[in-house]
């Protein structure tokens, strides 16, 4: 049997409707949740289809794959897309990340923050940075411990070429809404505390294909969506 393939445009419109429905249900300001299209493992053609349908923010997890797609999309006539890096940070990739992306969601250590700032080219605006917090406490997930988030955010605000925008987290894998919500509420409460301490932690990067409604209920401002937009990923 030939698998039925739903065009990216149709998936995009359904996804935007899903986000708007969650905004309404949870009394969020209409349009306050932005969609970050996670294009890891997808060909540049998929990104071009979503861009042609109006999507402008895309995220990649690996530097080389991201650079290739950024170049391909610029060449295809989409030079104004906004590229976010959401993968784990490795020392030898930080220069390339600082040079090629506008946002980084996965800052987990002061050392990595310093190197991103040092390598951010002076002709570009400061790199927008989320501090990633390990709210699930799973050793396999990256991110700083919640009790270290304030110090790391403070360190980011002292770096000249970085702009702290907020906190990011990946929730543990569950399809139970109340558990998803409980985990995202930890990040929301942590960001509220940081704001009380004068830190500009105004954005929350949380929610993926299976838990975006729970994330929106808890104040997400960026949902990072791969599967619900581009279909299931093949095994890597």
Ligand X SMILES: *Cc1c(COP(=O)(O)O)cnc(C)c1O
Q: CA triplet 224, 229, 230: central angle to 5 degrees?
A: 115
For residues 188 and 218, is the Cβ–Cβ distance under 8 A? yes
CB 155 within 8 A of CB 191: no
For ligand X, the closer of residues 21 and 74 by Cβ is 21
Name the minimum Å distance from CB 229 to ligand X: 8
Beta partners for residue 222, in sequence order: 34, 205
The upper half-sphere exposure of residue 207, i.e. CA atoms within 13 Å in the direction of its Cβ, equals 29
Q: Name the minimum Å distance from CB 61 to ligand X.
A: 5
- Among residues 19 and 86, whose Cβ is nearest to ligand X? 86
Buried b (16+ CB within 10 A) or exposed e, 157-193: eebebbebbbbbbbbeeeeeeeebbebbebbbebbee
Place of tokens 């411990």: 145
CA dist 161 → 96, 114, 167 (Å):
15, 9, 18
What's the min distance (Å) between Cβ of 196 and ligand X?
Answer: 27
Question: Shortest gap between Cβ of 116 and ligand X (angstroms)?
Answer: 17
Q: What is the DSSP string of 38-55?
A: E-TT--HHHHHHHHHTT-
* CB closer to ligand X out of 117 and 171: 171
Q: Which is nearer to ligand X, 28 or 40 (CB)?
A: 40
> Which CB atom, from 90 or from 197, has the smaller least distance to ligand X?
90
Chain residues binding ligand X by CB under 6 A are 38, 40, 61, 86, 170, 208-209, 224-228
Least distance in angstroms from the C-beta of 122 to ligand X:
29
- CA dihedral sign of residues 57, 63, 65, 69: positive
3-state class (DSSP) for residue 23: helix
Q: How far is the CB of 40 from ligand X (least distance, A)?
A: 6
Looking at the Cβ atoms of 4 and 232, the one nearer to ligand X is: 232
Residue number of the CB closest to ligand X reads 226
């Amino acid at each position: 049997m030939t698998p039925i393939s739903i065009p990216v445009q149709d998936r995009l419109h359904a996804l935007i409707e899903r986000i708007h429905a969650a905004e309404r249900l949870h009394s969020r300001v209409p349009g306050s949740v932005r969609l970050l299209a996670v294009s890891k493992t997808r060909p540049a053609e998929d990104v071009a289809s979503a861009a042609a349908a109006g999507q402008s923010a895309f995220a990649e997890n690996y530097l080389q794959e991201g650079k290739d797609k950024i170049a391909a999309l610029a060449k295809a006539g989409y030079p104004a897309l906004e590229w976010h890096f959401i993968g784990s940070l490795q020392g030898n990739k930080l220069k390339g990340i600082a040079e090629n992306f506008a946002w980084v969601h996965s800052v987990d250590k002061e050392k990595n923050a310093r190197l991103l700032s040092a390598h951010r080219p002076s002709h570009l605006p400061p790199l927008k940075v989320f501090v990633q917090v390990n709210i699930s406490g799973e050793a396999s997930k990256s991110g700083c411990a919640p009790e270290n988030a304030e110090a790391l955010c403070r360190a980011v605000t002292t770096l000249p070429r970085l702009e702290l925008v907020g906190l990011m987290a990946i929730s543990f894998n569950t399809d139970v809404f109340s558990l998803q919500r409980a985990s995202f509420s930890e990040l929301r409460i942590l960001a509220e505390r940081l704001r009380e301490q004068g830190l500009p932690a105004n954005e929350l990067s949380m929610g993926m294909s299976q838990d975006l409604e729970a994330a929106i209920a808890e104040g997400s401002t960026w949902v990072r969506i791969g599967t619900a937009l581009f279909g299931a990923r093949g095994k890597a």
